[in-house]
Structure 1
């Protein structure tokens, strides 16, 4: 099964897709796909209701697709986590995970516009495996304990502005300024439960710009796998249900110099085996008090 949220920004409602792609309303089970739902055995309850044919089928064709989880409490990200990506960036694979945070309002739907910030000249794409936390992860004893804290997996695009991220006259020596602009994390279309992903370290992931291939790799190239990352992070922060963990991107980004950076009107498409495909158009950000097409996601 796959969980989606559909509807206008800020008014999304959750649905579940069965193996045939038919959508069913989750009204009566939950009003939202969020931390309390995930921590309260929400996925198991949806699966049971679906198997018992207790859910009402709905037609979601033509509806906007929001992010598959409601605005997460935290978006935790890992940099340089693919060996080939580190190499193309001129760096050795890190000995410890490189960790940074994104603002939760970066999370938008998988087909929403991505807004180009004022002054941006080096906008980049990053297809990533997203991990959704379903149980509190705090001082875990081992990586083997970590996967029990994972609710499911999502397709994530860690959009980055490289000058804001890496130019010391702008960044101040840290990455978050290049990661936190509104709409910089298209997410979804689906949340796939963890027990329906046989091996998170054996997923193909790809990106395209204006129809041309950019990234083509596998999560097997991760320096630190999902279990290691969740265990490691639990030593330094408490991961809560509903949090999103972005696990890094493979080689093939504009930062490496092989491809041009993004511009207004460009189309980003990304995909991961079993987790769906996104399509985002680059649009110019308007004034400081504007509202976006994407909304909360």
Structure 2
């Protein structure tokens, strides 16, 4: 069964271009399920035992996982991985997996993105560059955060820019999650911020080397971007949700508020599914209701 799991994970990695974090999550979820079922049935988990799993057995595993503190959201993710692995095994070994595949996914409240307001996003841009006494580091921090907010990049995408991408043009070709490519317009303010940083940075990046560097010249760590934004948000009195990824959420939400097309925003963000992008419409509606409630308080 361990060999089968490894083979399945290799196929997920190759066919779906899954990230290593996703592969690790799959491995953890399915291994936990197989381990539970082995104890549940009182023997090592094999193909014959997999074919015996009933809906009651699946519910026992889910109850066990919840009892150990697993959230409904995490359990839903784990069940999805288990179903995918079981389906693959059933097709490979020729057994009926209906009982597992028909198990109900636990319901959970989807978390809405937590963007910053337009004023707060601008204040963040004005404040991150004040967190370092080194002018080139200040310019670096401003350039990275401007790319997150101005282009909707993920932190990993911004830090993945190399000498080959320089100088920035009007558009930027980004390879995002799952190897999905997208074309992102680059605002003049973002081009200027990156150009100003490159003019000051003491380390020169080769064609394939990252342009954003740490103090000692190595690639800039995402953790350092988090730390500088943490310092800036504390200075501004913003909530803990004002993270680097919140700048990407802000990019999408502010575009939508300004009348941006949902499909276009999906392409700019690199979302595979429109349903992922549609969460921003819920954010926009929630904000509208908040304004309405303040303007028309209930008696």
Q: Point out which structure has higher relative CO (alpha carbons under 8 A, 6+ apart).
A: 1
TM-score range, shorter chain: under 0.3
TM-score (structure 2 length as normaliser): 0.26
The structure having more radius of gyration, on CA atoms, is 2
Q: Which has the higher strand share?
A: 1
